[in-house]
Structure 1
Amino acid sequence: MKGAIKETKFRFPNQIGFYKGKVRDVYKFEKSIVVIATDRISAFDVVLPKPIPYKGQVLNQIAAKFLEATSDIVPNWVTSHPDPNVTMGKKCEPFKVEMVIRGYLAGHAAREYAAGKRTICGVALPDGLKENDKLPHPIITPTTKADEGHDEDISKESILAKGIVSHDDYQILEKYTHALYARGTEIAAEKGLILVDTKYEFGKYDGEIYLIDEIHTPDSSRYFYADRYEANQAAGLPQKQLSKEFVRQWLISNGFQGKEGQQVPDMPPAFVQEISDRYIELFEKITGETFVKAETLEIEKRIEKAVLDHLM
């Protein structure tokens, strides 16, 4: 199996900070950041032990394409892509919420619904829905943005009451979220996919709201194949999808849901390879391009050189 990058420990000139996220390593400078998409994979807000070859490259390059494709809707943080795993951009002050938007009853929302809940994040859902049904209209179900541990469901009302986001800013975040989801849905449909649900993160730079982080990747989004969607729903069959959900389902079947006291099961090499293949499949399906694998023999040296050359 090809090499994969699990973490980085660089020290760049004029660097003033470092943050290790679930998937990304973020190097901070006075007005900018360097974000390295590693091959780490998380599920249930837990980073799994084994990295997935090419996953970081896939995420970084899909996000780059969608950020460019939505730049007319909202400005984004990106200034350059010096390496397949690296994005450089503005150092925004992030809002402490993730704007999750759902067009279908899937994943976490479906599990909550199956448990009997009819209100998710303050949004009422009708009775009689089946898993993966299309919702009457897209709904926003925000979560808190945790630096460590689990993100938590939260309602719009709680966000405003606690002053996490101002009323005026939240209205803008809602508008951007719906517009981005509509654009993502259109692009997916052109490729024979359904954008089921996704999340967006926003921040401020010099007082202006920017789209930050990644968008429309398999880590932040769920896709169904459109051609069999209606038939599968009618027959009560699972939907073929391109997302991390199959990783979550494998973990669930092996007794892990991120709950206290549960042990992360060991992922066999064949499953790690399957995950890598799935990520590459999504890249090719959603972009319509052939995925070109970057050199991974000395991946850390490659990334460090690219960043240093760009900082000079």
Structure 2
Amino acid sequence: MPNQPFTFPGQTGFYRGKVRDVYSFANHPAGPRLVMVASDRISAFDVVLPRPVPHKGQVLNQTAAHFLRATADIVPNWLLAVPDPAVSAGLRCEPYAVEMVVRGYLAGHAWRTYRAGGRVLCGITLPDGLRENDRLPNPILTPTTKAHEGHDEDISREEILARRIVSEEEYVQLENYALALFQRGTEMAAQRGLILVDTKYEFGRVGNVIYLIDEVHTPDSSRYFYTDGYAERLAANEPQRQLSKEFVREWLMENGFQGKEGQSVPAMSDEWLAQISTRYIELYETVTGQSFQPAPAQNRDAEIEKAILAYLQTNE
């Protein structure tokens, strides 16, 4: 994936996120458009790690496209085309400044908060006596503020409304959409022998219409457990077999890194990067039921640029 951004005719903006390069075309003939290139960069604890993971961008892009298409009946989404395995193009929406995180199980950040004694998460009180990876009585919404740099922060529904980040009417719609999407994701995961543990959704707006934007149910935005063996592992207080990038976070923590000031990212060997790549591909094939076909590595940047240029010639 390109280290330096491309420059395209008619381009009106560029933004480099943690893992995506985003090109804006405000004056596209069919209306404002975005083109997103999913890079092989990987982030953890809101820090971009120093070495890319082979094929990660393609996995991310194709997984997101799969689920955007599978949930379009619930909420309209931004995706219009996939010009290249690592590229998505679609509507340019005005994003809401919150991410809607839905949790069905006590895992990850929620478990670390709970283990430290916290019982209130984003204004929601959790019962005593829960174990790591327990299923929650009902899926809960734990929103975060959306940070362009640094750490996202937990925020409650009440604080969102008090600070007028989102109107109450819009927030209720975002809640309903997020919970419906989580239900669909849960059903789709179950068909593949998986449990959708938690995930995040981002939304934007064009006029008065709310759209689902960014990625959906990908390894970067979601955590999955395997259904087979879940109950036995839980009863034995053993770690769950999972498909997510949590294993990357765990490896970093074991090596003394949690994104805190003064900490350094541990060295990432070629073997470790290959293992991460394999796990990403495994997730794609497991959650979609499709065989992963890696794009040829030769002239990859040129192929991506060519595909985007071809898309820009359309009126899609």
The corresponding residue for 1:19 is 15
Q: Does 1:275 align with 2:276?
A: yes
Give the deviation of 1:6 after TM superposition. Answer: 5.7
Q: Which runs of 5+ in 1 are unaligned?
A: none
Residue in structure 1 matched with residue 132 of structure 2 by the alignment: 131
1:145-164 Cα offsets, whole Å, 9 max, x none, are: 00111100101111000010
Q: Give, in angstroms, the shift of residue 108 of structure 1.
A: 0.3
* Inter-partner Cα distance in structure 2 for 1:7 and 1:26: 13
Deviation at 1:59? 0.6
Within a 5 Å distance, the mapping from 1:100-119 to structure 2 comes to 100-119=101-120
Cα deviation digits, residues 206-261 of structure 1 (max 9, x gap) = 22100000000000000000011000001111000000100000000000000011
Counting only pairs closer than 5 Å after superposition, residues 111-260 of structure 1 correspond to structure 2 as: 111-260=112-261
Question: Among the aligned pairs, what percent are the same residue?
Answer: 63
Structure 1 residue 310: deviation in Å?
A: 1.3
- Aligned counterparts of 1:12 and 1:76: Cα–Cα separation in 2: 24
Contact 2:195–2:226 under 8 Å retained in 1: yes
Aligned counterpart, 2:67: 66
1:33-44 matched pairs, under 5 angstroms: 33-44=34-45
**Contact kept? 2:2, 2:301, Cα under 8 Å:** no
Partner of 1:29: 25
1:176, CA displacement in angstroms?
Answer: 0.2
- What is aligned with 2:29? none
C-alpha contact 1:7 1:25 (8 A) present in aligned 2: no
- What's the Cα RMSD here? 0.7
Answer yes or no: is the 8 Å Cα contact 1:141–1:153 preserved in 2.
Answer: yes
Equivalent-residue separation in structure 2 for 1:289 and 1:304 (angstroms): 26
Q: Does 1:266 align with 2:255?
A: no
In the superposition, the TM-score normalised over structure 1's length comes to 0.98
Which 5+ residue runs of structure 2 have no aligned equivalent?
A: 27-31
1:8–1:300 CA contact under 8 A, matched in 2: no
Aligned to 1:299: 300
Aligned-partner residue type, residue 20 of structure 1 = R
In the superposition, relative to structure 1, how do residues 151 and 6 fare at CA in structure 2: closer, same or farther (>3 Å)?
farther
Letter paired with 2:66: K
Q: Deviation at 1:8?
A: 4.2
Pair 1:80 & 2:76 matched: no
Q: 1:245 corresponds to which letter in structure 2?
A: E
Measure how far apart 1:297 and its partner are.
1.6
TM-score when normalising by structure 2? 0.97
Cα deviation digits, residues 178-206 of structure 1 (max 9, x gap) = 00000000000000000000000000012
Which residue does 2:58 correspond to in 1?
57
CA distance in 1, matches of 2:155, 2:2: 31
Aligned to 1:309: 310
Q: Which residue is 1:287 aligned to?
A: 288
The letter for the 2-side match of 1:197 is D
Q: Shift in Å at residue 7 of structure 1?
A: 3.4
Residue by residue, what CA displacement relative to the aligned partner does 1:28-80 show, whole Å, maximum 9, x if unpaired? 01101100000000000000000001000001001001000000000000110
| More divergent stretch after superposition (293-302 vs 20-29) | 293-302
Q: After TM superposition, where is structure 1 displaced by more than 3 Å over at least 4 residues in a row?
A: none
The aligned amino acid for 1:7 is N
| Residue 296 of structure 1: how far off its partner (Å) | 1.3
Aligned partner of residue 178 in structure 1, secondary structure? helix
Q: Separation in 2 of the partners of 1:7 and 1:146?
A: 22
How far apart are the structure 2 equivalents of 1:141 and 1:99? 7
